[in-house]
């Protein structure tokens, strides 16, 4: 029996002349890999545009496997239609960053409905909001670390430094180099446990924001080595400076 599934695209790779290998994080089964045939045919129902990163889809999963756990999908349709995020330069850069970040971290086949809904509602918020989203990449990255199991402790005091190795604020510099200075530590403390609608309440310059995204990603790399090759944040920093 074929059942409707839903998920968001993390990555698609061309396979042959008319097919794609697509990695989708699904609501029902977590990360899955599928083959999609005929995406470039003139009469194809599965258009290649459906499989851009961070596209939310609904589809039928065929129980027949191709090989190595790769399945087929068909009857693909959009489950969410972007209003502004794919045409706005700044929001598009953020989507690319989110896709890269999630591709590096969601590497295991594991169902996680809470994480799925977090990603969907965050991206929907970004798409619909008109202003006040410059801090969104910081918020999303920090919240993702919560799902990965190493969210920073909220123990900030004045003049404290954030120790990336320990994931907490300390009053004296650690013996290792992985810590934020006072200014960036203060900015980080302001971002912790914020709701998505409160992001504009934390004023930051582009320089501060870029320094903080570097710091947060260094913190994440120390606890999730799969992030070592992440590069898209450099483009994001240029766009949002």
CA distance 116 to 123: 11
The residue with tokens 């599965």 is 46
pTM comes to 0.91
The β-bridge relationship of strands 70-78 and 30-36 is parallel
Classify domain 89-240 at the CATH topology level: de novo design (two linked rop proteins) (1.20.1440)
Q: What is the pLDDT of residues 107-153, one digit of tens each?
A: 877 899 999 999 999 999 999 999 999 999 999 999 999 999 999 99
Question: Is domain 4-78 given the CATH code 3.30.450.20 in the classification?
Answer: no
**Which structure tokens are listed for 16?**
């042959």
Q: Own/partner pairs for 32-41, CB < 8 Å, 24+ apart?
A: 32/7, 32/61, 32/71, 32/109, 33/69, 33/70, 33/71, 34/61, 34/70, 34/71, 34/72, 34/73, 35/66, 35/70, 35/71, 35/72, 35/73, 36/72, 36/73, 36/76, 37/72
Residue 228: Cβ-neighbour burial (10 angstroms; 0-12, 13-18, 19+): exposed
* Of 128, 140, 121, nearest in space to 199 by CA: 140
Overall size of the chain counted in residues:
241
User: Are the C-beta atoms of residues 72 and 64 closer than 8 Å to each other?
Assistant: yes
Helix %, strand %, coil % of the chain (to 5): 40, 25, 35
CA distance 202 to 156: 16
The β-bridge relationship of strands 70-78 and 56-67 is antiparallel
When the pLDDT of each residue in the chain is averaged and rounded to a whole number, the result is 88
Query: What mean pLDDT is predicted for residues 87-92?
Result: 93
Q: Where are the domains of the chain?
A: 4-78, 89-240
Q: Do 4-78 and 89-240 have matching folds?
A: no
User: Are the C-beta atoms of residues 27 and 113 closer than 8 Å to each other?
Assistant: yes
Query: What mean pLDDT is predicted for residues 82-100?
Result: 93
Q: What is the pLDDT of residues 24-63, one digit of tens each?
A: 999 999 999 998 887 765 555 557 778 999 999 999 887 6
User: Are the C-beta atoms of residues 96 and 234 closer than 8 Å to each other?
Assistant: no
């Amino acid at each position: 029996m074929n059942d409707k599934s839903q998920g968001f695209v993390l990555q698609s790779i061309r396979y042959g002349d008319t097919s794609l290998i697509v990695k989708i994080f699904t609501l029902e089964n977590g990360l899955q890999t599928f083959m999609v045939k005929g995406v470039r045919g003139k009469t194809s129902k599965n258009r290649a545009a459906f499989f851009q990163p961070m596209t939310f889809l609904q589809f039928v999963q065929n129980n027949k496997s191709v090989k190595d756990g790769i399945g087929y999908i068909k009857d693909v349709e959009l489950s969410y239609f972007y209003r502004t995020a794919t045409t706005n330069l700044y929001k598009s850069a953020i989507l690319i960053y989110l896709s890269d970040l999630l591709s590096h971290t969601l590497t295991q086949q594991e169902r996680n409905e809470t994480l799925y809904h977090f990603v969907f509602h965050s991206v929907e918020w970004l798409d619909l909001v008109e202003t006040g989203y410059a801090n969104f990449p910081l918020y999303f990255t920090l919240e993702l670390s919560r799902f990965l199991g190493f969210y920073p402790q909220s123990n900030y005091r004045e003049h404290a430094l954030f120790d990336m190795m320990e994931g907490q604020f300390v009053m004296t510099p650690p013996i290792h180099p992985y810590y934020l200075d006072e200014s960036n530590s203060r900015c980080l403390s302001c971002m912790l446990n914020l709701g998505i609608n409160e992001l504009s309440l934390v004023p930051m310059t582009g320089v501060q924001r870029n320094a903080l995204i570097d710091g947060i990603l260094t913190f994440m790399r120390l606890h999730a080595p799969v992030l070592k090759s992440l590069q898209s944040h450099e483009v994001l920093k240029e766009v949002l400076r």
